[in-house]
Amino acid sequence: MSPPGERPTQVADPVAAAIDRAFRDERAAVLATLIRQVGDFQLAEDAVQDAFLSAVGAWRRDGVPANPGAWITVAARRKAIDRVRKDRSLADRVERLAELVRLDAQEEPSVSEAGPIVDDRLRLIFTCCHPALDLSAQVALTLRVLGGLSTGEIARAFLVGEPTMGKRIVRAKRKIADAHIPYRVPTEDQLPDRLRGVLRVVYLIFNEGYAASEGDRLVREELCSEAIRLELLMCRLMPDDAEVWGLLALMLLHDARREARVDAAGRYVPLEHQDQSLWDRDQIANGLRSLERAARLRRPGEYQLQAAITALHLQAPDSGGTDWAQVAALYGELLKLSPSPVVELNYAAAVGFAAGPEAGLALLEPLLDVPALAGYQPLYAAHADLLRRTGDAAGAAGAYERAIALSANAVERTELERRLRVLTAG
Amino acid sequence: MPNYMLLLYSAEVDEAGQAERDAEMPEWLAIGERLEGAGLLVANARLHPVAAATTVRVREGATEVFDGPFAVTKEILVGYYLLNCSDLDEALGQAARLPLARYGSVEVRPVMDIPTPGPVAAQPA
């Protein structure tokens, strides 16, 4: 079984810093290539882990190498050779060993292999996000293998015990091996579906960090950063896909407001009351640039539409200045592309601002009977706001109480309670 | 002579239980040889545990792939294909093309690779 694979976390010194940097910047690429060469996830992961551990001693003794990534690549391959030599249970041990030894004899890492050069990390992403794996396993495996998060960190982020998360990851790796889930970028006909699957996993990781329904805030923020890092990698690997840029734009624009979403007392601050000086302007600019880049590819999609909606909110000069007609129009487009009760709810709320609360209510009230939204707190919060604006204080109070009862987030609940108090006081 | 399919069911066991079952190996091998010798054996195989299973359905033209075995008891096993594919994607692709995938479900289970001399022995999954 694999070592727990904790991230090297020494005190700040040059060698530790170099190892940390190599771990962050090079590990996924080294691992991805080694998985292709040895044909085994677990073996490759163990060998890369061994290589990082041996780097600690070697780099202290001999100094940090000029190219740490290349050093780790060679060390990991030799560790893999050691492991394959010792492990007599491997079915095709002799062939694997011969291939590894051949690669090791080459002076430079080979870049002249047949066919177009595909970054191994792209194969790795598609394998980790294969639909034959359970979605929770796809998320865990992506974070573990590509993000380099430890099993313990992932367990804490998803509020499950470390043994449970460990089992989930081991089981996923075993299924990849036993069922022969391929290690390659999907063929042309499968690519659109499979790419959607990858983006869904990345966005799920982001949302887990962003929504923060409960749990450790620091770990949650790390999930947001990790999702953005993964998406930046996707943009480098698949720069011709509009939705890849659309999702990057969406996450950057959301994440830019991270500091402003909670006040000094830890309370949730709704968008219209956020201190705009706390918004990360550089990140917003990056998000808008990504959105423009997506738009130039002329293939609209749901992430681009959501990013465009978020951009409209951010570009409003003040809380009353949002172009709600445009927001409603974009939600209308989104409904056509990917209809869902949640999008219908957002559409209703936007229409409520663009065309008045009565128009919004007419769209929202049928949603109260949709089973998929039963217990969905934002539905009742939006219902309450619309009722309040039509002057139906009693109805609004009932809806606020329902939303408060359903809220799992303390800061959000505090805000809803404040609105209810304002309502009943007035 | 008509063909018959014998479907083998058993509970999955832990490592200790598996060791016990592995001890039955000579018995399974003998049965394989006897069936082969009598000209009764068409094909047999041992499957990987359900953890390696994937279920495929096609609904409204879209292929849906799930982790895990097929679990709706209202539907019954009506047939099987044993395919030699390069990897899971190829197997899933072929499964999705079966007409039954549009109204039923196809459970795709990898067959265990058992390097045995002579006839392949069956074992409970």
Give pLDDT tens digits for A149-166: 889 989 988 888 999 999
pLDDT at A1: 37
Interface of A with B in 96-155 (CB under 8 A): 130-134, 137
Contacts of B51 in chain A (CB under 8 A): 171, 174-175, 178
Distance CA A69, CA A29 (A): 9
A91 interface with B at CB cutoff 8 Å: yes
How deeply is A334 buried, as exposed, middle or buried, from its count of CB atoms within 10 A (0-12, 13-18, 19+)?
A: buried
ipTM of this predicted complex?
Answer: 0.79
Looking at residue A134, what is its pLDDT? 95
Residue matched to tokens 């949002």: A322
pLDDT at A340 over 60: yes
Mean pLDDT of A371-389: 93
Distance CA A283, CA A304 (A): 17
The predicted pLDDT at position A111 comes to 46
Residue with tokens 């943009």: A235
Grade residue B125 by pLDDT with cuts at 50, 70 and 90: very low
| Chain B interface, best mutation among A178, A187, A190, by max B CB count within 10 A | A178
pTM: 0.83
The pLDDT of residue B71: 77
CB A399 within 8 A of CB A424: no
Helix/strand/coil percentages in chain B, nearest 5: 30, 15, 55
Question: Is A174 part of the contact surface with chain B (CB cutoff 8 Å)?
Answer: yes
The more confident residue out of A261 and A204 is: A204
Chain A interface, best mutation among B67, B83, B112, by max A CB count within 10 A: B67
> Which residues of chain B from 39 to 98 reach within 8 Å of chain A, CB to CB?
48, 51-54, 63, 65-68, 86-89, 92-93
pLDDT surpasses 60 at B18: yes
What local confidence, expressed as pLDDT, does residue A400 receive?
Answer: 95
Q: How far is residue A97's CA from residue A87's CA, in Å, rounded to a whole number?
A: 11
Tens of pLDDT, residues B65-124: 999 888 777 788 888 898 999 999 999 999 999 988 998 899 999 998 765 444 444 444
Name the average pLDDT for chain A: 88
CA B31 to chain centre: 19
Asked if A228 and A248 count as a contact pair (C-beta separation under 8 A), the reply is yes
**Which amino acid would we find at residue B7?**
L
- Min CA distance, A174 vs chain B (Å)? 8
